[in-house]
Amino acid sequence: MPFVKTADMVEVDLYREGSVVALLRKITTAIERCISTNRRLITIGCHEVSISGKIMCELSEVFSTWDVDMEYNRSGADMKRGNGALIRPDIIIHRRGEVDGPCNLAVIEVKKGDDVRHQSDINRLVDMTKSRESGGEFSYLIGVFLKISENGKATFLPFHNGRELQLIERRLPVQS
């Protein structure tokens, strides 16, 4: 079973009941901290890839015992495909090169702006978080669709077991 060390270095079994909420809290807290620290990237209109890179760096520190990658297009040594098409999620937290067992922790899609929803990203997160027992190929424990508005609002739409969970909206503080 995969374990992750929390800030106080206690190992937490991420597949235990209720751990999805703890994992989501850990991811959203890291993203909120990153965005508030790097708010200027949003206000000057940087591309979402720049923002994703900063988020990946923050998540790498928080999940130091895992691999955190951007635009990763591999499943083991093979090209990552979903419904026959090549896929490259914006950010993933995983065990690089592994395909068996619980090696895929989180998949994150990032969008900047006030557009409503990006259905192709939503569909990808549904597919990538389906368990293998439910016909999923990748079985990420959690997926997050993150929408960052220029007005300082972050919207987190989480997914687990191929299902959308409760929407979380936050007004992000500006660090001086």
Distance CA 56, CA 175 (A): 19
Confidence (pLDDT) at 126: 93
Q: What are phi and psi of 143, to 5 degrees?
A: -125, 150
Q: Is 49 helix (H, G, I), strand (E, B) or coil?
A: helix
For the ranges 6-10, 62-66, 140-144, the lowest mean pLDDT is seen at: 6-10
Confidence (pLDDT) at 141: 92
Average pLDDT in the 142-152 region? Answer: 87
Q: Is 138 helix (H, G, I), strand (E, B) or coil?
A: coil
| Average pLDDT in the chain | 79
Q: Decide if pLDDT at 8 tops 80.
A: no
For the ranges 6-10, 52-56, 69-73, 145-149, the lowest mean pLDDT is seen at: 6-10
Confidence (pLDDT) at 75: 66
Average pLDDT in the 160-164 region? Answer: 91
Residue whose entry in the numeric block shows the structure tokens 């395909």: 99
Confidence (pLDDT) at 101: 64
Distance CA 101, CA 170 (A): 34
Confidence (pLDDT) at 43: 81
Q: Higher confidence at residue 29 or residue 12? A: 29
Distance CA 139, CA 28 (A): 20
Q: Decide if pLDDT at 77 tops 70.
A: no
Confidence (pLDDT) at 79: 62
Q: Decide if pLDDT at 9 tops 60.
A: no
Confidence (pLDDT) at 81: 66
